[in-house]
Amino acid sequence: MIRKITEADRECVIELMEEFYHSPAVLHPVPKHFFSLTVDEVLSGSPYAELYLLYSGQNEDRPAGYAMTAKTFSNEAGGLVVWLEELYLRPDFRGHGLGSEFFAFIEDTYRGKAARLRLEVEEDNVAARRLYERLGYRPLPYLQMIKE
């Protein structure tokens, strides 16, 4: 099962974010208060970000993970771009098709609405890259730059 978060999910989502940001899937941890800011933004009805909880059919009492999407507009893509910002599955839930299920859910949700689905992945995250490539994602050869 995949569903958007509610206020009652706040602590659970923040716990999952902490797990994700202390995993090898990311370059570095981020301050914990960022998680609260993100949850607040989503729960305020933001048009820019969405958070989902993912559950396994085996255990619907404990979330298997979470996912976050963000939206932008791209002239290059010709419209709405949905960024698959974060997808985290707890280790004991990996390899059971939940990642593929989430991608199918997002593709169905944005079919005919989004011009592009986009994501980032650490080069060393071989399992995730293999999943994304199997689902039809391909590298976009840009060097990303940021200023904070």
pTM above 0.85, yes or no: yes
- H or E element in which residue 72 lies: strand 65-74
CATH of the domain at 125: 3.40.630.30
Q: Which domain holds residue 18?
A: 2-134
In a domain, 143, yes or no: no
Judge whether 147 lies within some domain: no
Does residue 142 fall inside a structural domain?
no
The number of domains in the chain is 1
pLDDT in tens, the chain (148 residues): 999 999 999 999 999 999 999 998 888 889 999 999 999 999 999 999 999 999 997 667 789 999 999 999 999 999 999 999 999 999 999 989 999 999 999 999 999 999 999 999 988 888 889 999 999 999 998 888 878 8
Closest by alpha carbon to 47, among 79, 80, 21, 18?
80
